[in-house]
Chain A
Amino acid sequence: MRDPHKRPSRPLFVLLVLACLTMITLDSRGGSTSPLDPLRSAVGNVLGPAETGTAAAIRPFEQIGGFFRSNHDLRGDVARLEAKNTKLKNDLATTPVDRNRLAEYDALMRTAQDTGYAMVPARVIAMGPMQSFSRTATIDAGTSSGVHADLTVVSNSGLVGRVIRATRTTATVLLIVDSSSVVGGRLGSNNEIGFVRGRGVLGEKGRLDLDLVDDSLVPARKDVVVTWGSDKGSPYVAGIPIGTVTRVFSSPRELSRRAVLEPFVDFSSLDVVGVVVPGDTKGDRSLVRADGGTR
């Protein structure tokens, strides 16, 4: 029997720490193909369906979660929210959540018409915790629906991010607000190009930085930034709205001017999104077509 006052085993602790360090080394030195990828997809294949199931189970309650979400201006809003709370609770009981969903699908369909791409509709089921300092989300469409890495993800209001990894039934999306995300952006008013970088924060502070290539240019406030697109539309297709310019900085240290963008998409309440795919993609769910029809 173990004596509780015995000093705990140091070698075991050291061994475990070394195991972690080995793993970190393997994963970070592997480059684009990590030796841990099979393990990742194995875990993803087990936990992905579990996440999808849980998301489906809590779906009727997720609107209620919004009632309790606290933010900075919550105090000022208490009175208004209390009135709205009652109304929304009634709405939740009477009108099914599906009605909102239908409206979102409709809007997504309009996006397909406006942008001229085919899309796989999907829902956000899970989001990485902020404590991991990265902004990623899981969607419930995977390789079985024709989703694979390096595809653009949009919502009805604008660019969401890109797929970085897909299992059979789920895919991981790197949101454009993640600090490792860089998107080629083009100013709507004069077609000047720049790079849009995430800041790694969500919600009220969920802003993006735009570095313009041409230093002499001053972006105007309220100017809309769209994606400039990459070769064969991978990872980003062209012409998807990203956000509007809210502030412009110019520092003597940096060569280019930096503008702050407010993204069109509200990343704290993502739900229905579309993955932009080639028009002839075969999968187990219907595509939203460029002509507005489904297949």
Chain B
Amino acid sequence: MRLVRALLLAALVGLAVVLQTVVFRHLSVEGVVPNLALLVVVATALARGPEFAAVMGLVAGLVVDLAPPADHVAGRWALALVVVGYLAGRVRQDAGGSAVGTLVVVGACSFVGTSIYAFSGMVLGDPSMPVGEMLGVIGLGVVWDVLVTPIVMPPLLMLLRRIRPPQVAFR
């Protein structure tokens, strides 16, 4: 059962990465697409709490870092998504219940995640773009992520709560 759950989660991450690189490139605005891997990690945080979400963040980030079109130093998205998973898990008690709360968490996580990724690039000296344009990309990313949240988040949360190992329910 544990293995089935792990495989399901891995497939979910793989699906998110494939969707955001293959399908959403046709809908991208200035090349910016919704960060579905980040949404999966935030959903995991809201459904399962910070520890599990941080591990999920590591896995999802690694897949984003290593999946074909990526050409940056591996581990940068992993780092960003570990932090996102942990932070989202920490605030889920306050924000997990309401729809508005979820939107705020997603927006904040998108901003924090992409910013950490951008910052790690500056530290490593990876070639990138001027800070002003970077902020524009981060802002567009937040808008995209918040826009797709009402569509993507409810089924994700339902799925993640269903494949949670049996335990005493709590919120």
Contacts and interface: CB of A to CB of B under 8 A. Distances in A.
Interface string A14-25: 001101111110
A138 interface: yes
A69 B168 contact: no
Interface in A69-114: 69-71
Contacts of B126: 133, 180
A201 B72 contact: no
B21 A13 contact: no
Contacts of B75: 20-24, 26-27
A47 interface: yes
A290 B92 CA distance: 61
Interface in B37-74: 49-51, 54-55, 57-58, 61-74
Contact of A4 (B49, B68, B117, B134): B49
B61 A127 contact: no
Interface stretch (B83-91, B97-105, B154-162): B83-91
A254 B167 CA distance: 66
B82 A20 contact: yes
Q: Is the interface of B mostly helix, strand, loop or mixed?
A: helix
A40 interface: yes
Interface string A125-164: 1111111111111100000000000000000000000001
A129 B71 contact: no
Given A129-B20, A138-B68, A20 B54 contact: no
Contacts of A167: 68
A135 to B, nearest CB: 7
Given A66-B26, A179-B128, A174 B21 contact: no
Contacts of A294: none
Contacts of A2: 49, 167
Contact of A203 (B30, B72, B89, B134): B30
The interface size bin for chain A is 35 or more
Interface in B115-135: 117-118, 120-121, 124, 126-129, 133-134
Contacts, number: 214
A121 interface: no
A134 B23 contact: no
B129 A172 contact: no
Given A24-B79, A44-B68, A69 B28 contact: yes
Contact of B68 (A28, A70, A170): A170
A138 B25 CA distance: 12
A172 B75 CA distance: 18
B22 A24 contact: no
Nearest to A167: B68
A129 B22 CA distance: 10
Nearest to A74: B29
Contacts of A62: 26
B85 to A, nearest CB: 9
B58 A65 contact: no
Contact of B118 (A22, A71, A133): A133
Given A17-B83, A133-B128, A268-B28, A12 B22 contact: no
Interface stretch (A50-58, A183-191, A219-227): A50-58
Given A50-B14, A130-B31, A16 B58 contact: yes
B149 interface: no
Contacts of B82: 13, 16-17, 20
A27 B117 contact: no
Contact of A20 (B17, B61, B70): B61
B27 interface: yes
B27 A130 contact: no
B127 A36 contact: no
B108 interface: no
A71 B78 CA distance: 31
B123 to A, nearest CB: 9
Given A20-B79, A51-B67, A129-B33, 13 more contacts: A8-B90, A20-B82, A23-B78, A44-B67, A46-B14, A48-B68, A126-B25, A127-B28, A129-B31, A131-B138, A200-B127, A200-B128, A201-B133
Q: Which 3 A-B pairs have the closest CB atoms?
A: A65-B26, A23-B75, A130-B31
15 contacts: A9-B51, A12-B51, A19-B78, A21-B75, A24-B124, A26-B74, A27-B75, A47-B63, A127-B21, A127-B69, A165-B68, A172-B69, A179-B129, A201-B31, A203-B30
